[in-house]
Structure 1
């Protein structure tokens, strides 16, 4: 899952977020924990170290995606500020993606087959020093989610380890190595963070079955409105008070649902059309590449203009390629114009699961 909730409703069990970050009000991106924690579909994860992980919050319904991390280098994203007319341009691209989605057949699975969702994810981790400054680095992880043709059956998730891969200077590298070193003293058993996990209907770690906006998948497919205005209003109603802004929360909620890989074509198209109605959506980059696949990045800025959430789509096919959170200014040890969290997704049909 983008580490499932995963890949978003991640929440913190230990650690604390740097005060400066809290002051910025970025609860979505700066989550305090000591290795990742997942809830909902993924359950919970925890660690004993005081490290804050910047990542996508919310439910990634699957350990979706296949993205590529530029190992050992800074991930730089395009800097785009809101400009007049950008929203109309973004809406046109999203509506084109909706039309392409309707023309694209959903994957057909026979009994016994699985939809395999491959995910690569990058998250920033930070450590606050005694002098109030922060040291940050990027970690990469991934996994494969196997979803049976009958989505109420047993899902299988192969979770890959989380490994520091990109550093912002020697102090960043040294701190990442220190945090990754084996803990001394007694080690307390916790949730299984790597390897093969199984859960009925996507209910990993003893959690409830996979859901969208609090609604079980099958029910959501059946009952969610296909009218873009009604669907967007439903999203606003169920995410009220969450995230840095209603617009950002709506866009990332849509991305989280699309990343599952199981949304039927008519509902996917409605989600793209609903996204086209979100105020403030801009074309962040007309050519954005993740995992060797190129698409258009469409994003919404936080109120202070310092952070932007993007989704990356292929308008010609209607495929969601991935998503990212971009820091447009330096903060918490992360350089300006850095994708502090991102994922990419690929799906395929396979005959078996691990």
Structure 2
């Protein structure tokens, strides 16, 4: 929220720095800058004293009074230009990506998540008629199952693409692709023969229908677009809804409320279908979690760099990876015992039509 925001007063040092940035080719000697600033303020005070004396002594009209009035007009114009220029510099400086958050600073993760939410809101794209909110995911998920002589463990790849219109009365499209790619963590192809899992086979599935009919269930794992649209954007209200068990936990229930909130936020964001305003609200809720921390100040996921934010419990780390300059969500990741258990990399954008990928 921006209501009630307090504007910070610039110090003398910041003012001089801004002047130097605005007018790099002008003499910015510190002593002369202070003299100029003092002169402008003094001129304003002198003019105020003159106005106050008019009621008792009158004002001598003529060339001297005109000079004083002209000087004040010029001084006021200079002050106005200076303030406008400083405001421009402050806007430019505020718009630049800030430095990476310092994991050692208390509350660094909460402040960085709030800042990321602000950037998401400021840069949220407008979905015009005929356009679609596009989301693409690449997920590597781990599975474990008993083998002939030991527990087998494998990571498999799947991809999704979704197109959701701004008007949810239109059509939605979801493509799900099991790529057939996999990597063994523990085990071999020979060991998997005749077991419950075996090697994954490539497959494709497409679901295209009116958005109100899209998907039969409503939960954090498989959210209907209309269900996402109905979730509260107010962080206080969203904080009450986020930990709710809604049937999507696949037979498991996490008893820790904070961990459950993070888990639900991660899985719904990992669908790639969450609109910008809801993503910002989720960031703000996660910023309030007790124990939230910068889990990886230099995270890399699918070749993109960001900062990891989340919770650590024992040897398990659950995190969102956010690009600090834009607030874009790069993906989510879970690590157990130093090994990546699952990860999802995201790409989002605005598509010119259903089934058409965004340009670029």
TM-score (norm 1): 0.60
Matched with 1:115 is 133
Distance 1:215 1:163, change over 3 A: closer
Equivalent position of 1:307 in the other structure: 316
Question: How much does 1:252 deviate?
Answer: 2.4
Gap change, CA 1:233 and 1:347, over 3 Å in 2: same
Higher relative contact order (CA closer than 8 Å, sequence separation 6+): 1
| Distance verdict in 2 for CA 1:219–1:119, change over 3 Å | closer
1:161 aligned counterpart, secondary structure: strand
Q: Return the alpha-carbon distance in structure 1 between the equivalents of residues 347 and 112 of structure 2.
A: 21
Q: Which has the higher helix share?
A: 2
2:8 is matched with none
Residue in 1 that maps onto 2:304? 293
Residues 263, 214 of structure 1: alpha-carbon distance in 2 compared, 3 angstrom cutoff: closer
Distance 1:116 1:136 in 2: 33
- Within the alignment, does 1:94 sit opposite 2:113 as a pair? yes
State the Cα deviation string for residues 71-105 of structure 1 (Å, max 9, x = none): xxxxxxxxxxxxx9677221122112112112213
1:251 is paired with a residue of what secondary structure? helix
User: How many equivalent residue pairs?
Assistant: 247
Equivalent pair of 1:87/1:279 in contact (CA under 8 Å): no
Rate the CA distance shift 1:177–1:222 in 2: closer, same or farther, 3 A. same
Q: Distance in 2 between matches of 1:181 and 1:135?
A: 12
Residue 106 (structure 1) aligns with? 125
Q: Which runs of 5+ in 2 are unaligned?
A: 1-102, 356-360
The 2-side partners of 1:199 and 1:86 are apart by 49
Tell me by how many angstroms 1:277 deviates: 0.7
Aligned in 2, Cα 1:293/1:182: closer, same or farther, shift over 3 Å?
Answer: closer
Instruction: Look up the match of 2:350.
Output: 349
Between stretches 97-106 and 147-156, larger displacement belongs to 147-156
Contact 1:152–1:201 (CA<8 Å) still a contact in 2? yes
Q: Distance in 1 between matches of 2:259 and 2:237?
A: 18
In 1, Cα distance between equivalents of 2:207 and 2:276: 28
Residue 155 (structure 2) aligns with: 138
Q: Distance in 1 between matches of 2:181 and 2:132?
A: 31
Q: In 2, are the aligned partners of 1:291 and 1:344 still within 8 Å (CA)?
A: yes
Instruction: Give distance in 2, aligned partners of 1:253 and 1:94.
Output: 17
Q: Secondary structure at the match of 1:236?
A: coil
Tell me if structure 1 keeps the 8 A contact 2:135–2:273: no
- Give the equivalent residue in structure 2 for 1:283: 294
- Which of 224, 232, 238 is the equivalent residue of 2:239? 232
Task: Tell me, in whole angstroms, the C-alpha distance in 2 between the residues paired with 1:275 and 1:311.
Answer: 10
Tell me which residue corresponds to 1:127. Answer: 145
- Cα distance in 1 for partners of 2:119, 2:340 equals 28
Q: 1:260 to 1:121 in 2, by over 3 A?
A: closer
Instruction: With the length of structure 2 as denominator, give the TM-score of the two structures.
Output: 0.59
